[in-house]
Every structure is written in structure tokens, then in C-alpha cells.
Amino acid sequence: MDRKASRIRRQFNRSAEGAYDANAHVQRLMAEWLDRSLQQEVNSVGDFKPDILEIGCGTGNLTERLLHGWPWSSLTALDLAPAMLQAAETRVAAVCANSSAARVRFLLEDVEAWAPGAPSASLDLIVSSACFQWLRRPKETLGELRRLLRPGGLLAFTTFGPGTFRELHESFGRAYRAAGMEPRRHGLSFPSAEQWQSLLQANGFENVQLQQTTQVELHFSVRAFLQSVKAVGASVSEASASPGIGSRRLFERMFEHYEEAYRVQGGIQATYELLLIHAAAPRY
């Protein structure tokens, strides 16, 4: 496992053992959105028994929905963080009947390391919610996932778009400029819907369908917002402070700008751009 994957594993292990579910409001909405988008697929397959892969199952929110929504399926749920996987297993055992729980196989794996060794044309449906933004090699990984799908199989996922945390990034930018410095990115950079479409089509996917929506959350303060982000495994401190300005002072200026520009009744706002994407493997 490479260094970045190891860091991601540590972050999500801490989250699973802490307050992930209490703070994962947007992630739950994304799982619900993805699950609703698959209902037409469920209705069209009848008693067909699809083989499903869930990438980044987390604490099992979508896993539970898949077991209920696809009653004849065989499901493999994969996550790279042991504590997340354990939480998902515990959740499924608690809320699903024994017959449903028996249909899921949990794997402790990093999909980018696991997929190249998985058998070709072995899956009918690949799903993932709020996970693909963590891919280190999205182009290569999408190619592997395309290989795993049977003809006509479907890849369906939700992820975050580039408008996510726009208030935070604007406030960091203002903090850097106030110090006479070139702004630096903090946290992940999120591909746009058009970039995902290009990556999917370059890897042989067809009938790419894109949906976008915006979710605005309120938090008591900027500090409370950042704590909630950390609680779900993310970080906004990946860009170290540049020479000439201390990290603490940079964050102080960012806090000031954020509170000044984005305080509304009830707290400060934080915007999430959410993407829902379906793409099919060719039927030939």
C-alpha cells in the first residue's frame, strides 16, 4: 500500500472509531440519491441475480440499502479501512435478516490495488458513494472497473464536484493574498462532471449520464465546520503553509474572512457540489 493510501486508511480508521456517522449528513444524502437512481435498474432485472461490487462501503449505509433493494443479488463490499469495514459488518448484522447478511462478502482492500487482480467480466453492477474523490489513479482504475463489468454492466457512483467547500477555498485564498502570497490549495481537488465523463469515455464506457446538485449545510462556526470535516475522514490542512507565514496565522486569517463573508442566520454556510454518474459497459 502506498503512502497516500496508508494515510487515507489512518484517517478513516479514526473516523469510524469516532463520530463519522454523527457528522456524515451529506454522505447519507449521497447514498440515498445513488440508491434512488438505481431503482429503475432494480425494477428492470426481475429475479435476475446480479453480482454487485460496492467500493468504499464505509460504515455500511449504502450496503444496507443495496441488500434491501436488490434481494437476489450477491454483494461484495470493499473498504481499505479496517474500522470502517467492521462498522459495516456490525451494521448489516444488526439491521438485516440472516439471509440478507449472508449475501454480502466484506473485503479489506484498496480498490486500486485489488481491481487489477480481479477476474474480467465478473460483475453486473459496480457502485460507490462519496469515495471516488479519493482515487489516486482515476483513469487507470476506471479502466480496470470497465474490465470487471460484464457486457451491458453498469458503473454508478456519487462524488463531490469542484464547487465543494467554495467558501473555504475562497477564504484561504483571501488569507494568502492578505499576506501578499500566492494562494495554495488546501484539501482535495475534485474533478468536474465533464472531466469524469471524459475519463469514462476514454476507458470505453457508454451512455454516460450526469446529474449535479448543490447542498448547503450550516455550522455554528468555522471551527465546528472543520471539526465535522475531520470527523468524516477529510482534511483541509494538506497544503503546508508557505515560507513567510505561519500555519496558525494563515488559519486565523482564513477564519476571519470566512466568518465575515459567509455568516448567515444560524451559523456559517458550507457548500457541497454533488455529482451522480452512471456509465455502462458496451453490450458487445
| Alpha carbon distance 134, 5 (integer Å) | 9
Burial class (CB in 10 A: 0-12, 13-18, 19+), 283: exposed
b/e burial code for range 225-253 (CB count within 10 A of at least 16 → b): bbebbbbbbbebeeeebeeebeeeebbeb
Per-residue pLDDT reduced to its tens digit, 3-44: 878 888 888 888 877 688 999 999 999 999 999 999 877 666
Residue ranges per domain, the chain? 3-162+189-217+270-280
Share of the chain above pLDDT 70, in %: 92
pTM to 2 decimal places: 0.92
**pLDDT over threshold 90, residue 101:** no
**pLDDT over threshold 70, residue 237:** no
**pLDDT over threshold 70, residue 158:** yes
Determine the average pLDDT of the residues in 33-60.
Answer: 85
Using the structure block, give the residue that is written with the C-alpha cell 467554495. 166
pLDDT-wise least confident of 1-10, 106-115, 185-194, 218-227: 1-10
| Alpha carbon distance 195, 101 (integer Å) | 37
Of residues 43 and 266, the one with the higher pLDDT is 266
Determine the average pLDDT of the residues in 217-230.
Answer: 94
3-class DSSP state of 159: strand
Using the structure block, give the residue that is written with the C-alpha cell 453490450. 283
pLDDT-wise least confident of 35-44, 81-90, 172-181, 261-270: 35-44
How much is the pLDDT for 236? 59
For residue 28, what are the CA distances in angstroms to 20, 68, 97, 226? 11, 16, 22, 18
> Any residues with CB less than 8 A from the CB of 230 and at least 6 apart, and which?
none
3-class DSSP state of 122: coil
117: left (phi over 0), alpha (psi -120 to 50) or beta: alpha
Q: Is the dihedral of CA 54, 21, 172, 164 positive or negative?
A: positive
> Any residues with CB less than 8 A from the CB of 58 and at least 6 apart, and which?
12, 16, 20, 24, 27, 79, 84, 87, 88, 129, 130, 131
Of residues 129 and 241, the one with the higher pLDDT is 129
Give the pLDDT band of residue 241 (cuts 50, 70, 90).
very low
Q: What value does the mean pLDDT of the chain take?
A: 91
Determine the average pLDDT of the residues in 97-116.
Answer: 89
Q: Which amino acid is at 247?
A: S
Determine the average pLDDT of the residues in 209-233.
Answer: 95
| Fold observed for domain 3-162+189-217+270-280 | Rossmann fold (3.40.50)
Which grid coordinates belong to 261? 463573508
Give the pLDDT band of residue 96 (cuts 50, 70, 90).
confident
